[in-house]
Structure 1
Amino acid sequence: MANIALFGLDIGKQTFHVVGHDAQGRPVFKRQFSRNSLLEFLARQPVTRIVMEACCGAHWLARKLAGYGHTVQLIAPQYVRAFVTGNKNDFIDAQAICEAASRPTMSYVAVKSPEQQAMSALHRLREARIGERPQAGNQIHALLLEFGVALPVGVRGIKQVPVWLQEESGLPALARRVLERHFDHWCALNRQITELDAEIAAQAKADDVASRLMTVPGIGPITASQLAADAGNAKGYGSARDFAASLGLVPRQHSTGGKAKLLGISKRGDKSLRRLLVQCAHVIMQNAARWTSAMAQWTVALMMRRHANIVACALANKLARVVWAILAKGGEYRPSPTP
């Protein structure tokens, strides 16, 4: 099969569908494999280009196939969807991957290292626990409200729960036992989040990329660690503008007939990274009046004439560009002096 120039690989849990194109873009190969037979087959093939969607298991498989000498690239699934013609099945998906990969302007996702994947999983665990904590708190509030106890809103009310776990509280014994289980679950989630924060902070200090990102104003260990894990070396982005656009920190555009029409921010890409950068922007906005750097003065001047939300998005865009420069070119953040 020396005439195959491109393999399009549709990934499944147990089955994998492969379509091969020759140098002229004609489909010349189509076959279904199991996981083990796929690795054995591609290990015997001459060095070629393999493209797949950036979905679950793609980064591990990309590293595995790159070890055989192949050039492996990942495409975001939303870019492949436009090339699916007719009905949808696994072979048509693999064919669409080949069609998308043949476009010279196609954007690709950088393959993550095992360390980056592990750190990304740690952040997903933290986000899951943070999402569970309000649910546990709401269950405690609702349970006590059924017995006529209206706790103060938020954590301040949860801290009063031990009072209602006592026998003289007037609650039935069974209700107290249920409340105790809810409260223990909330406390366990709180401890896990605290431990995860400490672990991420320690990992960020030990990691060279994350420690350099923490030199940027407003960026702490959580944001720096997730940027290092999810953005990698930023080589997949042609410029700082492309990186900021990939996070949805630029206006949506609906222009035609030579008339430019800009809308609100697009909110594309990783919403977790976008949220973290906006939070970092708010930190800078709160402290900009006390700082003397050029970025702080620019922020203060913008806050005087635009709404705070607009300033936060504009500043998050600026931070994203600074992050790209550090990831792609190395070095640390060097603040510009006051003009």
Structure 2
Amino acid sequence: MEVTTVGLDLGKDVFQVHGIASDGTVVFNRSIRRRQLLKFFAALPSCLIGIEACGSAHHWARELIAIGHDVRLMPAVYVKPYVKRGKTDAVDAEAICEAVTRPTMRFVAVKSKEQQALLTMHRVRQLIVRQKTQMLNVIRGLLREFGHVIGNGPWRRCASSKLSRLTIAQTYRMWRRACSRRFATRLLLSMTG
């Protein structure tokens, strides 16, 4: 029997594939190791492959499209209603296979490497901004313990006479430099001692 639809459940090292023929009979439901996945799909005739849109899904979608398959990504919340029993990789692959054939299913567009690189830059920037805000709030809270009240925002000036010329951003930069010096000193001591 020729496989027409495959549900692919992604994992870190082991993937589960569930393939059906045009009449709905199950052709295979097996696990495949990462290094064997592309060889396995290269041996199959061109077919519809469904994948949950999760980590590494766009990479595998691009790889399978390059081989000649029709790949569709679906949000996991839309696949979940098709899970019939307990949560296992085999059951998830079967649910993905069934969900991809539904006419009302909503799909996620496969992102190119350039699109993913741009999104990665935005996420890293977002993380840095969030961590900087956390650090500024910690510094602000620690300075309050010593009676130095600083208003909200990175450019607010300290209310204390001793710190009146410093902004919270300047305090953050000073603290960061002091921490990096301490880290460098510890690193040197650990390497020599």
* TM range, smaller chain: 0.7 to 0.9
Q: Which residues of 2 match residues 40-55 of structure 1 at below 5 A?
A: 40-55=39-54
- The structure in which a higher percent of residues are helix is 1
CA distance in 1: counterparts of 2:40 and 2:151, whole angstroms: 63
Please state whether the residue corresponding to 1:130 is helix, strand or coil. helix
Question: CA distance change for structure 1 residues 178 and 111 in 2, over 3 Å: closer, same or farther?
Answer: closer
Query: CA-to-partner distance for each residue in 1:43-66, whole Å, 9 max, x for gaps?
Result: 111111111111110111111011
CA distance in 1: counterparts of 2:92 and 2:29, whole angstroms: 12
Letter in 2 for 1:180: M
CA distance in 2: counterparts of 1:82 and 1:60, whole angstroms: 25
CA distance in 1: counterparts of 2:155 and 2:172, whole angstroms: 20
Q: Which residues of 2 match residues 1-339 of structure 1 at below 5 A?
A: 3-157=2-156, 164=163, 180-182=174-176
Please state whether the residue corresponding to 1:13 is helix, strand or coil. coil
Please state whether the residue corresponding to 1:37 is helix, strand or coil. helix
CA distance in 1: counterparts of 2:157 and 2:128, whole angstroms: 17
CA distance in 2: counterparts of 1:147 and 1:85, whole angstroms: 60
Query: CA-to-partner distance for each residue in 1:233-269, whole Å, 9 max, x for gaps?
Result: xxxxxxxxxxxxxxxxxxxxxxxxxxxxxxxxxxxxx
Query: CA-to-partner distance for each residue in 1:173-231, whole Å, 9 max, x for gaps?
Result: xxxx999325878xxxxxxxxxxxxxxxxxxxxxxxxxxxxxxxxxxxxxxxxxxxxxx
Question: CA distance change for structure 1 residues 149 and 77 in 2, over 3 Å: closer, same or farther?
Answer: same
CA distance in 1: counterparts of 2:177 and 2:144, whole angstroms: 15
Query: CA-to-partner distance for each residue in 1:145-197, whole Å, 9 max, x for gaps?
Result: 11111112222336789x6499xxxxxxxxxx999325878xxxxxxxxxxxx
- The structure in which a higher percent of residues are strand is 2
Deviation at 1:24, TM superposition (A): 1.6
Question: CA distance change for structure 1 residues 158 and 31 in 2, over 3 Å: closer, same or farther?
Answer: farther
Q: Is the 8 A contact 1:140 1:183 kept in 2?
A: no
Structure 1: segments with no counterpart, 5+ residues = 167-176, 186-339
CA distance in 1: counterparts of 2:71 and 2:159, whole angstroms: 56
Structure 2: segments with no counterpart, 5+ residues = 166-170, 180-193
Question: CA distance change for structure 1 residues 75 and 158 in 2, over 3 Å: closer, same or farther?
Answer: farther
Query: CA-to-partner distance for each residue in 1:61-90, whole Å, 9 max, x for gaps?
Result: 111011111111111111000111111100
Question: Could you tell me which residue of structure 1 aligns to residue 185 of structure 2?
Answer: none
How large is the Cα RMSD of the aligned pairs? 2.6
Letter in 2 for 1:181: W
CA distance in 1: counterparts of 2:118 and 2:67, whole angstroms: 26
Question: CA distance change for structure 1 residues 158 and 39 in 2, over 3 Å: closer, same or farther?
Answer: farther
Please state whether the residue corresponding to 1:156 is helix, strand or coil. coil
Question: CA distance change for structure 1 residues 165 and 33 in 2, over 3 Å: closer, same or farther?
Answer: farther
Please state whether the residue corresponding to 1:87 is helix, strand or coil. coil
Greater RCO (Cα-Cα under 8 Å, separation 6 or more): 2
TM-score by length of 2: 0.81
Q: Is the 8 A contact 1:140 1:158 kept in 2?
A: no
Deviation at 1:6, TM superposition (A): 0.5
Letter in 1 for 2:64: L
Question: CA distance change for structure 1 residues 154 and 108 in 2, over 3 Å: closer, same or farther?
Answer: same
Q: How many pairs align?
A: 173
Q: Is the 8 A contact 2:158 2:164 kept in 1?
A: no
TM-score by length of 1: 0.47
CA distance in 2: counterparts of 1:66 and 1:159, whole angstroms: 58
